[in-house]
């Protein structure tokens, strides 16, 4: 006899393939949102707080992975709607990438004693704020999926999401500039830091940059939905 699943997410999927996508994104955003307090704890040299927040990020990333697995397991082979199954899976992958990168950053910060150089702190704050903002914009887009379906991917809801997509793309361009500036600032003080610290900081910057790229990828996925 086949076992019945008791997963709430599986129940959502039976009603709408977008509901679990939205639930997953909420978990992802909760994970990503902890990056700002994580770096604040690092600047305050509060190692215990850094460790605590890294643990919470890891737990949320694990929860997002579980939701992703349930979605893949219970997703129908065919969907009677103008959205391709593969496109939904790609959207899920992009969302999951945000949580993955947040966890990677948190693990770097607890793998060794890191300190935030004063020379990069203003730009780091700007980069973090911008990264959280673009992730928030991406989350708002995902929250509109049900409304888009109800209106057949048209009307005012269509125009609203198009504006959101344009906003995400504009934010990503701005973050690219901030990323370039902070790398130049780190380059200017490389002689004052250990080579290992420099390597890890560049890795952190690249992960934050990748998160904005993932958010832009999500906007491209939604644009694909709207064009079909």
Q: What is the pLDDT of residues 8-67, one digit of tens each?
A: 444 444 456 788 899 999 999 999 999 999 999 999 999 999 999 999 999 999 999 999
Q: Where are the domains of the chain?
A: 11-227
Asked if residues 89 and 73 have their Cβ atoms less than 8 Å apart, the reply is no
Question: From 1.10.10.10, 1.20.58.220, 3.40.50.300, 3.30.365.10, which CATH number describes the 11-227 domain?
Answer: 1.20.58.220
Query: Which is nearest to 169 in space by CA: 219, 103, 118?
Result: 219
d(CA 46, CA 56): 16
Q: What is the pLDDT of residues 66-90, one digit of tens each?
A: 999 998 887 766 555 556 778 888 9
d(CA 60, CA 45): 24
Asked if residues 62 and 107 have their Cβ atoms less than 8 Å apart, the reply is no
Q: What is the largest CA-CA distance in the chain?
A: 66
d(CA 117, CA 110): 17
pTM score: 0.87
């Amino acid at each position: 006899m086949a076992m019945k699943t008791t997963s709430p997410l599986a129940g959502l999927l039976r009603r709408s393939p977008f509901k679990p996508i939205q639930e997953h994104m909420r978990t992802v955003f909760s994970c990503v949102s902890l990056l700002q307090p994580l770096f604040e704890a690092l600047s305050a040299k509060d190692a215990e707080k850094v460790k605590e927040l890294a643990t919470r990020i890891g737990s949320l990333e694990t929860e997002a992975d579980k939701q992703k697995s349930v979605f893949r397991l219970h997703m129908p082979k065919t969907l009677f709607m103008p959205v391709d199954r593969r496109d939904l899976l790609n959207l899920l992958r992009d969302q999951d990438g945000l949580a993955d990168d947040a966890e990677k950053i948190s693990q770097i910060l607890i793998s060794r004693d890191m300190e935030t150089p004063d020379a990069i702190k203003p730009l780091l704050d700007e980069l973090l704020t911008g990264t959280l903002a673009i992730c928030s914009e991406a989350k708002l887009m995902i929250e509109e999926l049900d409304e888009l379906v109800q209106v057949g991917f048209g009307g005012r809801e269509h125009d609203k999401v198009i504006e959101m997509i344009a906003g995400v793309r504009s934010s990503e361009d701005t973050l690219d500039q901030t990323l370039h500036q902070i790398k130049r600032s780190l380059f200017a003080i490389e002689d004052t830091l250990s080579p290992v610290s420099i390597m890890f900081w560049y890795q952190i910057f690249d992960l934050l940059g990748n998160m904005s790229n993932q958010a832009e990828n999500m906007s491209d996925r939604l644009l694909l939905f709207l064009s079909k």
